[in-house]
Amino acid sequence: MKISTKGRYGLMLLVDLAKQATDAPISLKSVAERQNLSEHYLEQLIAPLRNGGFVRSIRGAYGGYVLARNPRDIVVKDIIFALEGPITIVDEDIDDGLDVLWTRLREAIHDVLSSLTLQDLVDMRGQSEHGYMFYI
C-alpha cells in the first residue's frame, strides 16, 4: 500500500490550515509557498476536501479556505479515504492462502489512521519524539 501525493499533500494542506489557527481564510497560494507545493495541484485537492466536509471556501478578494470543523474532530482516516478511496493491501480477488495476513494488515492500518486526528498531526508536525522535525 502506498499513499499517493494526493493523500500526502492533502494532509499537508489541512495541517497548514489547522496550524494557522485563525478564522480568516487562507489562500492556496500562501499554503503552497509555505509548504513548497504546487498551487495548481492543491487546487485539484480542494474539491474532495470540501465535499468531505473538511474545508469551507470563502469567496471574495480576501477569500480562501478555512477548516470546516475543529481539527480535534477530523480523523486522519476520513481524510485519506476522501482523497485516496478505501485502503487495500492486495487485490480483493487474490486467493493466495494469506487472507488472514492481509486482513490483519488492513485492520492495523485502519486502526492507526482512525486513532489520529488532524490536531494530532499538527502537534506532531513540530517535533518527533527524537527532537527531529516530523514531515508528512
Q: Using one digit for the tens of pLDDT, what is the confidence trace for 72-122?
A: 999 999 999 999 998 888 776 677 778 888 889 989 999 999 999 999 999
More confident residue, 131 or 119: 119
Predicted confidence at residue 44, as pLDDT, reads 95
Q: Are 13 and 45 in contact (CB under 8 A)?
A: yes
Residue 33 has pLDDT above 90, yes or no: yes
Band of pLDDT at residue 1, cut at 50, 70 and 90? low
Q: Does domain 5-126 have CATH number 3.50.50.60?
A: no
Band of pLDDT at residue 126, cut at 50, 70 and 90? low
Mean pLDDT throughout 118-134?
68
CA 41 – CA 114 distance, rounded (Å): 26
Mean pLDDT of the chain: 88
**pTM here?**
0.85
Give the start-to-end residue ranges of the domains of the chain.
Answer: 5-126
CA 121 – CA 14 distance, rounded (Å): 10
Mean pLDDT throughout 19-47?
92
Predicted confidence at residue 14, as pLDDT, reads 97
Cα–Cα–Cα angle for 58, 61, 65, nearest 5°?
30
In the chain, % of residues over pLDDT 90: 65
Total length of the chain: 136
DSSP-based three-state secondary structure for 56: strand
